[in-house]
Amino acid sequence: MKMIDVEDISIGMSLPMWVLPPISRQTLAVYCGASGDHNPIHVDI
């Protein structure tokens, strides 16, 4: 993917889509630990 400098961005310009892998249960568990938010609704199957 080509890097874009912030100075090269202008109003109305289309930016490339940022594609990330799906969020896993492990990622959610790590986030819960880091944020201190251990509400079961976030990780309940």
Q: What is the DSSP string of 1-45?
A: -----GGG--TTPPPPP---PPPPHHHHHHHHHHHT---GGGT--
Q: Taking the CB of residue 32, how many other CB atoms lie within 10 A of it? A: 15
Q: Using only C-alpha atoms, what is the Rg of the chain?
A: 17
- What pLDDT does 26 receive? 87
Note the pLDDT tens digit of each residue in 1-44.
Answer: 677 788 888 999 888 888 999 988 888 888 888 998 888 887 77
pLDDT at 1: 61
| Whole-number pLDDT of residue 22 | 92
Give the pLDDT confidence score for residue 17 in this predicted structure. Answer: 85
Q: What type of residue sits at position 10? A: S
